[in-house]
Chain A
């Protein structure tokens, strides 16, 4: 059982380049989320989804797009990378219900130069 799988693990981009961070889960969870982690700032929610075809913005959505065409996949797109997007990105999934735990991927460390 793989859980939540993120690819790539590491990435270096030049300013202005675009890329997609991949996230897949095999637990049939309806809820999926993307967070970024920066020193001293905890985890900040970028975008989230409550099911296939439904996405919404979190607290720091600017510069990122998402889509949810299937239950399993929730890719995060950086449209035009900026140095401020240098961060560690985590994807998470949860079963429905407020008392369920979130399962996290191993993270993607992104550097924008």
Chain B
């Protein structure tokens, strides 16, 4: 069965510091991976996705993620945090067994950005 684990439910960084949010997945087939962001009192919106091809994926708002098959990881990074990046972030993998349209989510990481 596929699963996603996000290491660290809360991450705190200073403004201008590197942001690193960790995501590991479990999948017996090549995965399709996604990062979503949720700002307070809003729905989820897509930051970026990995399907095939280049393993370094660039997304919106300066975020990027690297797919590492050997480490079964898809960590999200941003070189310099802004106050506006404070939000909850979810990693997800697309279920590949059967035609279900399901996404399997990690438990989320809340990013706090300190001035």
CB distance from B88 to the nearest CB of A (A): 9
CB distance from A67 to the nearest CB of B (A): 17
Assuming the contacts A33-B101, A40-B107, asked whether A99 and B32 have C-beta atoms less than 8 A apart, the reply is yes
Query: Which residues 84-109 of B have a CB within 8 angstroms of A?
Result: 90, 94-96, 99-103, 105-108
Contact with B along A1-15 (1 / 0, CB 8 A): 000100000000000
Query: Which residues 77-113 of A have a CB within 8 angstroms of B?
Result: 90, 92, 94, 96, 98-99, 101-102, 104-107
Contact A107 B42 (CB under 8 A): yes
Q: Which stretch from B14-22, B43-51, B74-82 is at the chain A interface? A: B43-51
Which secondary structure dominates where chain A touches chain B? strand
* In the assembled complex, A53 has its CB within 8 A of some CB on chain B: no
Which secondary structure dominates where chain B touches chain A? loop
* In the assembled complex, B12 has its CB within 8 A of some CB on chain A: no
Between B9, B103, B107, the greatest number of chain A beta carbons within 10 A of the residue's beta carbon is seen for: B103
A-chain residues with CB within 8 Å of residue B46 when the two chains form the complex: 101-102
Contact A45 B102 (CB under 8 A): yes
CA distance A96 to B94 in the complex (A): 12
Assuming the contacts A90-B44, A104-B45, A107-B42, asked whether A43 and B90 have C-beta atoms less than 8 A apart, the reply is yes
Contact A90 B43 (CB under 8 A): yes
* In the assembled complex, B34 has its CB within 8 A of some CB on chain A: yes
B-chain residues with CB within 8 Å of residue A105 when the two chains form the complex: 43
Contact A31 B44 (CB under 8 A): no
Contact B49 A104 (CB under 8 A): no
A-chain residues with CB within 8 Å of residue B96 when the two chains form the complex: 98
- B contact set with A: CB distance below 8 Å: 9, 32, 34, 36, 41-46, 49, 51-52, 90, 94-96, 99-103, 105-108
